[in-house]
Chains A and B, each alone.
Chain A
Amino acid sequence: MAIFVNPNRMELLRLRKRLELSERGHRLLKDKLEGLVKEFMPLVDEYRRRRGLLEDLIPRTLGLFALAAATSSREMIALSLEECGGEAVVAAGTRKVMGVTASEFRLEAFTLEPAYSMIATPQELDLAVAELRGLLPRILELASLEDLLRRLAREIEKTRRRVNALEYVMIPEISRAKRMIEGKLDEAERGSRVRLMKVKEMLEARGM
């Protein structure tokens, strides 16, 4: 994408300002990119750790439910389901990391009414319910962290594209156009100087 400009001093001044602005923008965006990546990497490690933990715990807990279902009748589980009620109060907020806003949720309260018969249901069921309840805040934290990571990743990608566009397209194009105008102006100046010298020579030859 070449920049087409009229080779005059006004354009040259305009291009000089534009180049200065582009270089300043490039420097700032590069700093921002470094900052974003610096924030991003520890969060990725934290996400991996939490995700790994949850990926171990969820299948194990759900396995306990399956065990409970196997050791008791289907009707009993259905009855327990009907008698189970719960209410999770989740507080929603936002947090900002390097100018990126992401959702943040926190489990404020959780009331569970395990109204099913403790005697008629297997022990695995109570254990599974207790374990799953313990997982709920972790699920919320992981969801918030994943949201933040995705948003940061999007911002990093966007910033990197801008940095690259400035570095490899805008700044070289403006510099080329600036050099072209400077070359043309120099040429025009040389031309007018030669013309003046010729005129002077001609005047001297005529004895004027």
Chain B
Amino acid sequence: MICRRGQWTALLGFLFLFSGCIPLDQADRHTAPSLNFSECPELFPTGPWESVYQIEAIISGKVFSSLFGVTKGDPAQGRLHSLLLTPEGFILFEGELGGNGIVVHKSVPPFDSSTFAGGLMEDVKTLFLSPAGRPKIGREAMDGARFCFWEGPDGFRTEIRGSADQGWQILRRDAQGETIKEVSLNGPYIQGLATHLKLRSMKPASYRLKMTLIQVGP
């Protein structure tokens, strides 16, 4: 078990070292009409919700697992409760993100490290929770595509770009401006949730998640 955890950590370390540096996108510098901040796209559920997505995790081109990702969220409280399940229903990970940070309720190797818990809950937050506060910039390009970005106190940025026709993209950048997560969302939207999501993570580990909405509630 220790050996397997070591291999997993080594793999993540390897992927981290060899993940490419993505140059800072210049989209926010384009000349375009400014938007009222209320016109920035709202891609996230606004009330309490629960969802089940089918997840295909791909690392180094290999399908690592087909899993169920179950999430219950309360945007007003900034709370998320997530589970990863095997098709047989076996719980690999269960954790919550809230006012007290991340609380892990259940985890089995190799999903039992604090690094994994932090990364998973960060992904869930990027996918389902609107960035805090008002956007710093909101613009609309000539083709109707919108661009808005939020900057956090840590210098990390969240950008949302796209249109209803082209689909939407969420980008997370670190304080150096390098893209660390890239999410594409495609409809139809059910109760504010995109049916198809693709997440590409560049840092701290390189992997891709392909997600399909299966069930939504309440």
A binds B: no
Hey, which bits of chain B sit against chain A, CB under 8 A? none
